[in-house]
Structure 1
Amino acid sequence: MTSQRPPATVTITRYEVSVLPEDDINRSVFTINVENRGNDRWAVVRHQQCMNAKGEWSWERVPSEREDEWLDEHRFNRATALELAKWAAPQIVVNGHTAIDAYRRTRTA
């Protein structure tokens, strides 16, 4: 008797958004993540902060403190979350330099 195995499933849980290419040494510090939080609700996150619909960053609350109002302001469908992350990615500032500055510094003309 042959036992049947259920088919494996693949779930995308995170996207990385950056203006820097994958092989750039500075990419990790100039990256925003778009993370699946379940039920087609995605968070735009960077260094334990979440972006709201206005493009403002705030510390991500622990689950027991995430009220519906806070979740509604900081969770999006996937398309909206990716658009917010793409809008914000060039504006990341690290040590006084934007992601665009880092890109220009490491690219040859």
Structure 2
Amino acid sequence: MTTPEPTVQPVRYTVTCLPEDDINSHVFAIDVVYRGTGRWAVQRGEHACLGADGEWAQGVKEYDRGDEWLNAHRFDLDTALKLAREAAPHVKVNGYTVADAIALYARDAKEA
């Protein structure tokens, strides 16, 4: 018996407006995650999923959702990345906006 060749497939993209080396970049990030059969989810953390209507829904588990919900929250890759890019500038964390976080990063870089 011969061993089959391994396959490699990208399964996650991270979209953020903060610089990669910003310590807070990961908390302001939106992930585009592969969910199988050519469909991708747009997520904030493990608990929020972006819908086609631009609203964030709680819960990302496919097994507790019906087809209607899944069809509104799963996209082809181009659409998922577009939605993530549109949402990224509007992320808020503990009351801080992306603009606030960028300003803090710039201030810290200037002080260093």
TM category (shorter chain) comes to: 0.7 to 0.9
Give ranges in structure 2 of 5+ residues lacking alignment. none
Q: What is the Cα-based RMSD across aligned positions, in Å?
A: 1.7
Structure 1: runs of 5+ lacking an equivalent: none
What residue is the counterpart of 1:86 in the other structure? 85
Paired residue secondary structure (2:27): helix
- 1:9 aligned residue (7, 10, 25): 7
Tell me the residue number matched to 1:18.
16
Q: How far apart are the structure 1 equivalents of 2:62 and 2:94?
A: 31
For the residues of structure 2 that align with 1:61 and 1:92, how far apart are their CA atoms? 18
Provide closer, same or farther for how the CA distance between residues 37 and 83 of structure 1 changes in structure 2, counting only shifts above 3 A.
same
Quote the Cα distance in structure 1 between the aligned partners of 2:23 and 2:65. Answer: 35
Of the candidates 26, 30, 33, which is equivalent to residue 31 of structure 2?
A: 33
TM-score by length of 2: 0.86
More helix by share: 2
Q: Which deviations, in whole Å up to 9, do the C-alpha atoms of 1:24-65 show, x marking residues without a partner? A: 101111000000000110000013110001110011254332
Paired residue secondary structure (2:13): strand
The residue aligned with 2:69 is 70
- Aligned 8 A contact 2:38 2:76 in 1: yes
When residues 102 and 61 of structure 1 are mapped into structure 2, their CA distance, relative to the original with a 3 A threshold, is closer
SS of the residue aligned with 1:29?
helix
